[in-house]
Structure 1
Amino acid sequence: MKKLLKITLVAAILGALFSYGTLKFLYYKMEQELITYLVLNEEAKKLQDIYALCNGLLTTNPSNENLLSCNSIVSKVDKLSIQIEEKCPYISFYTTYINKLE
């Protein structure tokens, strides 16, 4: 019984150390990407606002020119989201998987 307790205690300590190390590594990498992420995220927010205005304009005046403008903004948003995933992989991983668990 004492042997099982020792094995469980050692496994728990090793698991806690591994978890702590992993979290510190993830935090360090995310901290390095933070400035880039904030700049790209601000640009994405501006494009979101522009798209909201474009969508309202398209609703009130559905012309081909307005449709092309909105599609252009959507393609810029898609390119920007790919750029965020490429330049900030750890923050993207956190926001995609870990943040949804909370």
Structure 2
Amino acid sequence: STASARARGRFTRNFVVQGSAADWALLMLAALRRSLTGAGLRAEIVFFQHDEVIVHCPEAEAETVREAIAEAGETAGRIAFGPTPVRFPFTMAAVGCYADAK
């Protein structure tokens, strides 16, 4: 039927997008972990789910971690997709308590 063909098409397109996003996220987390440990920071990745990454660090490291996150996103995009005008922006917040993050 036409409805089931549409559903299969939607599933197939969604599968490709979600698979690509998962690949990108894995690469981003690996690049971030490498950057944080390589810089000798006390920062640690403590949580990742869907589109959120939580890094616990001393306040003095917050700006360095922010830069590492942005660079990890760029690295992941370059590895996963090659040269592309597509950007992978992050909204970042440095807070004392996760409940205060927006």
TM-score norm. by structure 2 comes to 0.46
Q: Which has the higher helix share?
A: 1
Q: Computing the radius of gyration over CA atoms, which structure comes out larger, 1 or 2?
A: 1
Q: Going by fraction, where is strand more abundant, 1 or 2?
A: 2
TM-score by length of structure 1 reads: 0.46
Q: Which has the higher contact order (CA 8 A, sep 6+)?
A: 1
